[in-house]
């Protein structure tokens, strides 16, 4: 079944209510590798109940609906997570009940044999007050679904990576078991746990969740630029350019553009492969 452009944009996707606790907040941070150094008091605030704070990218793991549950008429076996964004409108609570509402914002037809790009946006509000806390956006590259008759383009122009050397780089070594921990925050796709499933998908072993890579990139920004003060991260956007294998070291390059913007790129050092690119973070002063 091909994509029906106008039907997809008009979909009323059911809201998702998500209750989470302080334990979930700590588990999410552990799934990003925070706490690996027991003497790192800056990271400890995200994994220890004393003065606990939610790590700023936690909203991407909450109140979401699986793309497979949305009737878009795409071949889900050939779909990959293309990019991710998050804007934080207020500090994220360490526990509470959140309501997420997702909508399809655009679908780009790259033409027959070239695939399609689907863009979705999810607003997350505190249930009790209705306060808008965060807005998450994602793009999905549907490799088998081009040529459905929708608008043809290459999609929005990505944020350019500076050509000069980075102002700062932060190396973060992922844990061998990191995907197994991260999946406990809600994404149970066996691609990230089962070697047989990974091989059938064309990977030599299970890969790290894209959103875990996204969180690791944020770790580097929070530690390297913000002195572990995650409340100062206003937004983060970027594209996934290659998978990460748990246990690899990511070198996150950071270009500071004034006091409020940082350009970002991450490379898996063992393979010399760029895994996150065209990234940009905005900061609160």
Catalytic residue positions, numbered: 187, 192
In the beta sheet, which residues pair with residue 236? 86, 281
Interatomic CA distance for residues 275 and 272, integer angstroms: 9
Phi, psi of 166 (to 5 degrees): -65, 150
Task: Tell me the C-alpha distance between 207 and 197, whole Å.
Answer: 11
Instruction: Identify the CA nearest to 248 among candidates 275, 230, 226, 223.
Output: 275
Q: Which residues pair with 257 in a beta bridge?
A: 261
Q: Which residues of 212-232 are buried (b: 16+ CB within 10 A; e: fewer)?
A: bbbbbbbbbbbbbbbebbbeb
CA nearest to 216, candidates 183, 189, 178: 178
Sheet strand arrangement including 168-173: 16-20, 96-109, 116-126, 132-142, 79-88, 233-240, 273-283, 261-268, 249-257, 168-173
For 152, which DSSP code?
B
- Please work out, in degrees rounded to the nearest 5, the angle formed at the alpha carbon of residue 150 by the alpha carbons of 145 and 155: 80
Q: Which residues pair with 139 in a beta bridge?
A: 83, 119
């Amino acid at each position: 079944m091909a994509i029906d452009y106008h039907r997809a944009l008009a979909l009323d996707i059911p809201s998702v209510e998500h209750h989470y606790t302080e334990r979930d907040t700590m588990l999410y941070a552990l799934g990003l590798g925070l706490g690996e150094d027991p003497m790192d008091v800056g990271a400890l605030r995200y994994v220890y109940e004393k003065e606990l704070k939610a790590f700023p990218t936690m909203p991407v793991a909450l109140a979401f609906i699986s793309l497979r549950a949305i009737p878009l008429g795409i071949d889900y076996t050939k779909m990959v997570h293309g990019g991710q964004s998050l804007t934080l409108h207020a500090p994220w609570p360490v526990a509470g009940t959140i309501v997420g509402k997702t909508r399809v914002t655009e679908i780009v037809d790259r033409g027959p044999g070239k695939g399609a790009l689907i863009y979705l946006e999810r607003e997350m509000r505190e249930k009790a007050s209705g306060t808008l806390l965060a807005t998450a956006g994602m793009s999905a590259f549907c490799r088998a679904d081009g040529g459905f008759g929708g608008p043809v383009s290459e999609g929005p122009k990505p944020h350019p990576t500076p050509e000069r050397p980075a102002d700062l780089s932060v190396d973060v070594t992922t844990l061998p078991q990191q995907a197994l921990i991260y999946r406990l925050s809600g994404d149970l796709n066996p691609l990230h746990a089962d070697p047989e499933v990974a091989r059938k998908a064309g990977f030599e072993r299970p890969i790290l969740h894209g959103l875990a890579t996204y969180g690791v990139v944020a770790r580097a920004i929070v530690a390297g630029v913000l002195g572990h003060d995650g409340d100062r991260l206003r937004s983060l956007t970027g594209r996934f350019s290659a998978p990460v294998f748990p246990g690899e070291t990511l070198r996150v390059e950071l270009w500071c553009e004034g006091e409020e913007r940082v350009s970002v790129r991450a490379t898996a050092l063992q393979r010399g492969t760029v895994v996150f690119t065209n990234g940009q973070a905005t900061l609160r002063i």
